[in-house]
Structure 1
Amino acid sequence: MSFFERMWPIRKKLWWCPTCNVPLVKTRCNRCNTEGISLKLTAPGDARPGLERDEKALLEAYVNEFGTKSGFTDFRGSSILLLNKVPYIDEMREVVSDGIVICRIYFDPYIRKWRLRLSKPGVLRILNRGIVNTFEVESQKFLRRLFRIKTSRVFRKYEQIVLTHKGEPVGIGYYENGYIKVHSIYPRTVADRISRTNSSINDIIRANENSMREFISKALAFIDVTLEKTAIKPIVSFSGGKDSLVVLHLVLQLGIEPTLLFNNTGIELPETIESVHRTARKYGLNLVVADAGNAFWNSVEFFGPPGRDYRWCCKILKLAPLSRTIKSTWNDDILNIVGQRAFESLDRARRPRIWRSQWVPRVLCTAPIHTWSQLEVWIYIFMNKLTPNPLYEMGYERIGCFMCPASTLAELELVKNTHPHLWGNWTKILNKWSEKLGVNKEVWIEYGLWRWLAPARHKQVISRKLGSPEITNEWRSTYELWIENIIDHIDSREEYIHVTFKNEIPHNAVEAQLPILGIKEVKRNSKGVLSIKLDHNAEAEIRGKDLILMFKTESDFENCMDLLKLLIRWIACQQCKNCELSCLVGAISVKNKPVVNSSNCIHCRLCLRVCPVAEVYVEHLVIPLIINTPLAWRRPCREGFEEVLSKITTLLSISKKVEERTAEMFRNRLRKVEDNFAAFFSLMNK
């Protein structure tokens, strides 16, 4: 078992009916009552049925690999296909046909085409057709992965070669410069298929009908009990994707007509927006749209392209409009029923089925199909004749922002082909930033290296193979160019940091923000130097364009960084209003720039944690230059979000107790005054 597979806390088990030749979600076939054979899939096993576009992709990969369609029909098999995503530098899927993994199809990022890697059953289906080249090895005993076999035979560069021993396939390798590098070693015995019966989507439905009723009844009961226990108004977060469509239909089955909440990030594909509105009209439901408008296109000029490790976009396009819309639409707590599934990511796999939103605390979220696989989701859609987003048939597996940095190169290539106008708009932004940063335009844009900010492993592998290692090696110069509109120079030494800004630092603006840090000791001398006492061992001075920070401990360093964040946030405020929307005591508002009400502020610094400028731009671009590591945001001394929430709880609790004590003292004093007045009037009457 690989390290990746061991990481998954939850996995999906699937079976195959040898009689009906279809996948099963439970051990027994509901159609013929045959015991299913367990499928061996890579974790987490979130397989889905193949659609028409998957058939085309498999054929395309086959032709790209072998240069012919000959033998494809027998290779493809008789059953409906099942596809399971597996780890790879871009996109790779196991392909199951007739109950056996016949190959893996993958998008080669270097040639930007779909290719195919044969499994032993796949080899057995085409071995005697002369489609694939073979190489006879003397012994299988010493064959190891990455082992290089010297050969005088000449093959195409990176051609897939089947390794045989006494005519039996024992593995595959790839040819390069006179050597065959072993990639996979095959097991000694394996069948090429479980069944030869033709099967379709309808056969899958009949074979899983009763099993699906069990899944459905459990999901309905979960929703019903959650509604009863919480007694909170329900809404459904509807993204236009298949999972939220299934959740919506489940809620409707209970006779509930929920309000739909759609987060339009402003960079959704038009089919998604139309699908959301069409679904709302079909079921006669109220649709509330949290609309980010043009926020992305306005902010990308400052932030630059978002990355997998530089997700400023989520705070501006999701957190801000959702917080604003929820606050303005619902006065009380709401139960947000979502289509999240455990197998989508490790983060979601570790999340419970019910949780409180960390960003909008009065939103309670619940995921009724948390343990469903894609196969179960699609069977439900086919059973109930639902109309999914047309993007799925166009080849999309993920519905969301069209240029999300989490996308694979295969997905971005699809956007480029299906929506050239939108992709053209994004390419203009990438061209502008590649020129600003002085990077190799073809490598950075065409091979999608903009999807990472720091020199991540995949970014390093691709850039080196393409002969542009400087894209990752020279990260400091890239970061310096990235922030040059704000900062001219950074000089960092032990216990001392000197930051020179592009423009003079406004003293009044700095002083107005200091209540957030709980700072009261501020001095200004005759030379115009502003001195700030941050802590016992931490100080700051502001002289014209220069900010000088001095510290002793890690805690002092973090206080200095928070002051730096406050300053840059004020200079580069994007007016997303996350700080204003998230403040629990109403101590901050945004009027072109952040304005702090010092009498209300409890110094929790939550407003810094939700700010895309402070928490993403400064953390991922500025602080790395200070401590000389692109992964500065992972430093152990950095305050985590959970720590901030814990601190807020404590501060609010103390504040409440102080208020209660003050009120009690006032009541006691009032009683004494009343007693004194009563005594006075008593004496007067005598």
Structure 2
Amino acid sequence: MMDKECAAIERLRVGAEMSETYYEQPLIITTSGGKDSDVCLHLAQAAGINYEVQHNHTTADAPETVRHVRETFRKLEEKEIKCTINWPTYKGQPVTMWSLIPQKLMPPTRVVRYCCDVLKEQGGKNRMICTGVRWAESTARKNNRAAFERLHRDREKRMLLSDNDDKRRLFENCQLKAKRVVNPIIDWTDEDVWAYIESEHIQMNPLYCEGQHRVGCIGCPVAGRKGRELEFARWPTYKGAYIRAFDRMIEGRKARGLETEWQTGTDAFDWWMGYDVLPGQMDFDEVMNDG
């Protein structure tokens, strides 16, 4: 564990140096209010680097998560660390999960996760950022993420690097204005994360103490049906917000002459949860050109 901690701290120091050199601004530590973000914040302190902190307010996080982020920011600001909350926008206008769904004319799904793009990933544009992404979280991240990354919508222009990659100089000197990322705990397992939290006495989001394994947007399809059912039982107002958003989504589809077998937002919610999948329900391609 000591070797992984040292490697993570070194990655943060390299990332901070890159940020100051290329952008002439501090490294941004992004925080979602989850355990991996809190570990990265603690490691940044241990690294002794200059950094600032940003949180992308998704509008669909649990109240406990919102309060945890606010308390974390309060403590950081006492240390004179700049903290920023990024409020989401879409097409130049303020947006929430509940106003985004009617504009997209379809529910967010495991395959079409437009909500992440709009609500979670817009902060830190054209900057060097730090995230808590880890290979252990999914096969996709194991295959497509690295310790250092240069992100770009054009996959041909993306660049992934390991700690000692011989493409490092190209990565550092490339003049393409794009978001660069350092993932200091990319190779940490869940056990590594919890062991570090315990050894360093890091104050965590209280939802973990209640047995939650993840803290993200309430209703996220990635959480699976059982996890989402537990979330909606705990926070029923969010279920109502989704149903009302789906009602407006259906109205929008009908106004555009798009077919839908859903008659109400509840019908759409049941389909979304996997309770009542209607055959031929939607052709996602017909609405993706909307945004």
What band does the TM-score fall into relative to the shorter chain?
0.7 to 0.9
d(CA) in 2 for partners of 1:248, 1:261: 11
User: Which aligned pairs between 1:134-149 and structure 2 lie closer than 5 A?
Assistant: none
SS at match of 1:392: helix
The answer to which of 351-360 and 269-278 deviates more is: 351-360
Letter in 2 for 1:275: H
Q: Secondary structure at the match of 1:259?
A: strand
Question: Is this contact kept in 1: 2:56–2:120, CA < 8 A?
Answer: yes
Indicate which of 359, 362, 377 corresponds to 2:178. Answer: 362
Extract structure 1 runs of 4+ deviating beyond 4 A. 430-436, 439-444
CA displacement at 1:257 relative to structure 2: 4.4
Equivalent in the alignment of 1:215 = 4
Distance in structure 2 (CA, Å) of the matches to 1:296 and 1:441: 15
Measured against aligned partners, the alpha-carbon deviations of 1:46-100 in whole angstroms (never above 9, x if no partner) come to xxxxxxxxxxxxxxxxxxxxxxxxxxxxxxxxxxxxxxxxxxxxxxxxxxxxxxx
Q: Please state whether the residue corresponding to 2:221 is helix, strand or coil.
A: coil
Question: 2:231 is paired with a residue of what secondary structure?
Answer: helix
How big is the shift at 1:440? 10
How far is the alpha carbon of 1:432 from its aligned partner?
6.7
Structure 2 match to 1:450 = 272
CA distance in 2: counterparts of 1:394 and 1:427, whole angstroms: 27
Q: Secondary structure at the match of 2:208?
A: coil
Q: What secondary structure sits across from 1:438 in the alignment?
A: coil
Give the secondary structure class of the aligned counterpart of 1:219. helix
Q: Which of 348, 354, 379 is the aligned partner of 2:141?
A: 348
Match of 2:119 in 1: 317
Deviation of residue 228 (structure 1)? 4.0
Equivalents in 2 of 1:403, 1:434: separation in Å?
Answer: 19
How far does residue 371 in structure 1 lie from its aligned partner after superposition?
0.7
Within the candidate set 392, 395, 402, 2:218 is matched to 402
Question: Aligned to 1:419, which of 235, 250, 253?
Answer: 235
Deviations 1:90-131 (A, max 9, x none): xxxxxxxxxxxxxxxxxxxxxxxxxxxxxxxxxxxxxxxxxx
Q: Secondary structure at the match of 1:262?
A: strand
1:294 to 68, 92, 95: 95
Provide closer, same or farther for how the CA distance between residues 347 and 277 of structure 1 changes in structure 2, counting only shifts above 3 A. same
Counting only pairs closer than 5 Å after superposition, residues 5-20 of structure 1 correspond to structure 2 as none
8 Å CA contact retained: 1:296, 1:316: no
Do the aligned partners of residues 310 and 221 (structure 1) sit closer, same or farther apart at CA in structure 2, a change above 3 Å counting? closer
Residues 1:479 and 2:261 are matched in the alignment = no
Q: 1:222 to 1:310 in 2, by over 3 A?
A: closer
SS of residue paired to 1:235: strand
Paired letter, 2:87: D
Which residue of the partner structure matches residue 158 of structure 2? none
Name the aligned partner's letter for residue 424 of structure 1.
Answer: G
AA aligned opposite 1:252:
Q
Relative contact order, higher structure (CA 8 A, sep 6+)? 2
Write the letter of the residue equivalent to 1:240.
G
Q: Judge conservation of contact 2:221–2:228 (CA < 8 Å) in 1.
A: no
- Structure 1 residues 239, 353: CA separation in 2 closer, same or farther (over 3 Å shift)? same
Deviations 1:320-349, CA, capped at 9 Å, x for gaps: x42xxx46xxxxx63211111011122211
Aligned to 1:106: none
Scaled by the length of structure 2, the TM-score of the pair is 0.73
The one of 283, 293, 308 aligned to 2:76: 283
Tell me the distance in 1 between the aligned counterparts of 2:241 and 2:265: 16
Amino acid in structure 2 at the alignment position of 1:290: N
1:383 Cα offset (Å):
0.9
Higher-Rg structure is: 1
Q: CA–CA distance in 2 between the matches of 1:226 and 1:424?
A: 42
Report how far residue 439 of structure 1 moved.
7.0
State the 1:299 CA deviation: 2.6
> Which letter maps to 2:149?
W
How many residues matched?
Answer: 247
Q: Tell me the SS of whatever aligns to 1:240.
A: coil
Change (3 A) 1:313 1:428: same
- RMSD of aligned C-alpha atoms? 3.2
Given the superposition, is the C-alpha separation of residues 254 and 299 from structure 1 closer, same or farther in structure 2, using an over 3 Å criterion? closer
- 1:166 aligns with none
Q: What amino acid does structure 2 have at the position aligned with 1:339?
A: G
Residue identity (%): 27
Using the alignment, how far apart are the partners of 1:411 and 1:371 within structure 2? 26
Per the normalisation by structure 1, the TM-score is: 0.33
How far off is 1:394 after superposition? 2.7
Counterpart-to-counterpart distance in 1, 2:177 and 2:132:
19
CA distance change for structure 1 residues 433 and 226 in 2, over 3 Å: closer, same or farther? Answer: closer
**Structure 1 contact 356–362 (Cα < 8 Å) conserved:** yes
Q: Structure 1: which 5+ residue stretches go unaligned?
A: 1-211, 328-332, 452-458, 484-564, 569-612, 619-686
Q: For residues 441 and 337 of structure 1, what CA distance do their matches in structure 2 show?
A: 38
1:266 to 44, 59, 63: 59
CA distance in 1, matches of 2:219, 2:234: 13
**Greater per-residue helix proportion:** 2
Contact 1:395–1:414 at 8 Å: present in 2 too? no
Distance 2:215 2:98 in 1: 20
The 5 Å alignment of 1:482-631 reads: 613-614=288-289
How far apart in 1 are the matches of 2:97 and 2:45? 34
**Which whole-Å deviations, capped at 9, do the CAs of 1:490-547 have from their partners, x for residues lacking one?**
xxxxxxxxxxxxxxxxxxxxxxxxxxxxxxxxxxxxxxxxxxxxxxxxxxxxxxxxxx
For residue 229 of structure 1, report the CA deviation from its aligned partner. Answer: 5.6
Output the CA distance in 2 between the equivalents of 1:234 and 1:433: 39
Q: Deviations over 1:439-491 (max 9, x none)?
A: 79988645xx415xxxxxxx6xxx7xxxx6xx35x31xx337x99xxxxxxxx
Is residue 224 of structure 1 aligned with residue 224 of structure 2? no
One of 16, 26, 29 as aligned partner of 1:236: 29
SS of the aligned residue for 1:309 comes to: coil
CA separation in 2, counterparts of 1:406 and 1:297? 18
Question: Which residue of 2 is the match for residue 374 of structure 1?
Answer: 190
1:438 aligns with 2:262: yes
1:295 shift after superposition: 3.3
| Aligned residue number for residue 256 of structure 1 | 49
